[in-house]
Amino acid sequence: MADVTTTKPRTRGVAEENHRDVTYPDGGPMAIGQNVTWQVKDNVLYLVCNLDQDFGETASGKSRKIASTNGTFDIPGTNVRIGLNVFYKASK
């Protein structure tokens, strides 16, 4: 994603105080949660995670976690929230 630059998303009528105070460092993607980065360009959300990561078993033990936002996350300047969990079925 080195060719994708970060721009501040357009506001959709949502007050800025309703969102986390997030800045865009050096025009690059921002990390959230475990193994997840995000950025917005031209009002398109890009999410990236490394599929080679392994953060161990989920609480149920049925799957192994690769990435997570650890709950929901507000995209600043929009009325959009994301919540992401990436996992695979654990071997028996």
Kindly report, residue by residue over 52-71, the tens digit of the pLDDT. 999 999 989 999 999 999 99
What one-letter code names the amino acid at 43? Answer: N
Tokens of 92: 């028996």
Domain range list for the chain: 16-89
Are 14 and 74 in contact by the 8 Å Cβ rule? The answer is no
CA-based nearest residue to 33, from 65, 77, 80, 76: 65
What one-letter code names the amino acid at 14? Answer: V
pLDDT digits (tens, 9 = 90+) for 28-44: 678 888 999 988 888 88
What one-letter code names the amino acid at 92? Answer: K
Q: Taking the model in full, what pTM does it have?
A: 0.64
Residue 34: count of CB within 10 angstroms of its CB: 16
